Chains A and B, each alone.
With several copies, the nearest count.
Chain A
Amino acid sequence: MTVPILNASGCLDALTAAEVAQTLDVFVTKTVTPLPREGNPPPRIAETELGMLNSIGLQNPGIEAFLDDTLPRLARLGVPLWVSVGGFSVQDYAQLCTLLSGREEVTTIELNLSCPNVDEAPETAAEIVAAAREATPKTLYAKLSPATWDIAETARAVADAGADGLSLVNTIRGLALAPTTLEPTLERGAGGYSGPALRPIALACVYACATAVDLPIVGMGGVSSGRHAVALVAAGASAVALGTVLFAEPFAARRVRVEMTEAAVALGYPSAAALRGKAHKSATFANLSAL
């Protein structure tokens, strides 16, 4: 049993970096929406002292071009594929799931319920998951935002609505100002804050959700070493995803995979998977679902 390493959605394009994608156990696409999107105007990335901000705004070719053109090319990579989908209403999500259902190249659909850079669907996360559940028999992961008072409550609601797993966490809204002009460094103002600063927040979310629901969790947020990955696994994740670190180090997955095992062995466990949930005192934490 191993701890799979994925990329975080939106942090890798396998078509411009096939070799990088092939270092992963699963490739997750950037979020696809029903219609093509150009995204937000640039500048839409900026470094901060302890993380980065982005306001990409889900630039993507739309589901039609994705199914016709992108997906067949992704399938040739030989890496299991997860497709991240996003929309602006329950209908959008249901439609996307229906269209993806017939495509055997796709193993899992990740519902992006948490992009801080676009308008949100008016429905709750649970309503969207329920509609997606109706629309597809495929494995469904719900990707949640850390920007919520009680993420465990949302986790329970999406579990009840039929989610098969959780992806935790998306970015949280942040802002930086240029030191000389005092204008926001991103054209759009605020953006999604990712990277090292997010790590304790992500860890708290994984820890809380692992207690609340019995679903597999992909943990992410600031992971750049095996020790970070192991912490997420100990908090309850069964897989980890790499986001921002891939920009600085495209082949980081190879290093993190080795370091994760080394860290586990140094702590007296046979593998990283063996320490899953160990941050929890409760003994009821033995029966954990795998990815």
Chain B
Amino acid sequence: MQANEAIGAYTLLRIERGGLEPGSPGQFFMLEAPGRLLPRPMSLCLAPAGELAFLVDPIGPGTRALCALRSGDAIRVFGPLGNGFDLDVERPLLVAGGIGVAPMPYLAETLGRGSALLGFRSPRHAEAAVLLPGAEVVVEPRLVTELLPDDPGDVLACGPEPMLEAVRARAPHAQLAWEAPMACGYGACYGCVVEHEGRLQRLCVAGPVLRGGL
């Protein structure tokens, strides 16, 4: 652990990279949550030299334990895992809701272009927009999908399920990063299944980024 830094309602967790590769945007890591039996999946948010940074929303015991880490604490980190975004796109448009903003900074940096739309549930949550300079930001009751242009181009999105469904309705070929409870993150437990292409598939192996969606 290098440092924990509050960014509005979220916490940016910066970890020494050690021997780990950052992987590609949309991939995730399993982070040991101190005091809990199972690790927690976290998308890579930023990859500064020698570091991996994660943006964490403290919604339960595991994420709260991660946000309570202090500089010098050691945790086990495993990854990168899963399939990230396909970067071979013409007109990328990044769309994120809430903590779905987490993978966007690394994605924007890697793509080197494209605009971004972000939606948050409160101004305090919206402070995380500093991680994505130039993004257009809305706060509830306005929804991020209201900002989608008629021809949205190549949408790369992450956020809560209802948001992803709404994005897909508008952009059927969007790349969507989904969530599911995960015990292992590497295909071992069969816990993270989602219905995709008509059958139950492990999201950690088949996703988390899927085209067309669940």
Contact = CB atoms under 8 A, between A and B. Distances in A.
B190 A56 contact: yes
B199 A247 contact: no
A39 interface: yes
B74 to A, nearest CB: 13
Interface in B169-204: 180-184, 186-194, 199-200
A234 to B, nearest CB: 19
Contacts of A238: none
B15 to A, nearest CB: 17
B18 to A, nearest CB: 14
Given A38-B200, A39-B190, A45-B191, A52 B37 contact: yes
B131 interface: no
A16 B190 contact: no
Contact of A42 (B30, B187, B193): B193
A20 B78 CA distance: 12
A248 B188 contact: no
Interface in A227-257: 244, 246-250
B188 A54 contact: no
Interface in B141-195: 180-184, 186-194
A248 B190 contact: no
B7 interface: no
A11 interface: yes
A16 B186 contact: yes
Interface string A190-233: 00000110000000000000000000000000000000000000
Contact of B200 (A16, A39, A47, A195): A39
B180 A244 contact: no
Interface in A1-54: 10-13, 15-17, 20, 30, 38-39, 42-47, 50-52, 54
A59 interface: yes
Contacts of B200: 38-39, 42, 59
A13 B187 contact: yes
Q: Main SS of the interface on chain A? A: loop
A45 B186 contact: no
A196 B36 CA distance: 11
A42 B194 contact: yes
A56 B189 contact: yes
Contacts of A50: 37
Contact of A247 (B62, B189, B194, B205): B189
Q: Main SS of the interface on chain B? A: loop
> How many interface residues does chain A have, given as a range?
20 to 34
B135 to A, nearest CB: 32
Given A39-B200, A54-B191, A56-B191, A247 B39 contact: yes
A247 B183 contact: yes
Contacts of A59: 190, 193, 200
Contacts of B32: 248
Contact of A250 (B186, B191, B194): B186
Contacts of B62: 47
A223 to B, nearest CB: 13
Contact of A195 (B37, B39, B199): B37
A196 to B, nearest CB: 7
24 contacts: A12-B188, A13-B187, A16-B188, A17-B187, A38-B199, A39-B193, A39-B200, A42-B191, A42-B192, A44-B191, A45-B183, A47-B36, A47-B38, A52-B37, A52-B38, A52-B183, A56-B189, A195-B37, A196-B37, A244-B37, A247-B188, A248-B38, A249-B76, A249-B78
Interface of A: 10-13, 15-17, 20, 30, 38-39, 42-47, 50-52, 54, 56, 59, 195-196, 244, 246-250
Given A13-B187, A45-B183, 14 more contacts: A11-B188, A17-B188, A42-B200, A43-B180, A47-B36, A52-B38, A59-B200, A244-B183, A246-B184, A246-B188, A247-B39, A247-B189, A248-B39, A250-B184
6 nearest CB pairs, A to B: A16-B187, A45-B191, A247-B184, A247-B183, A13-B187, A45-B183
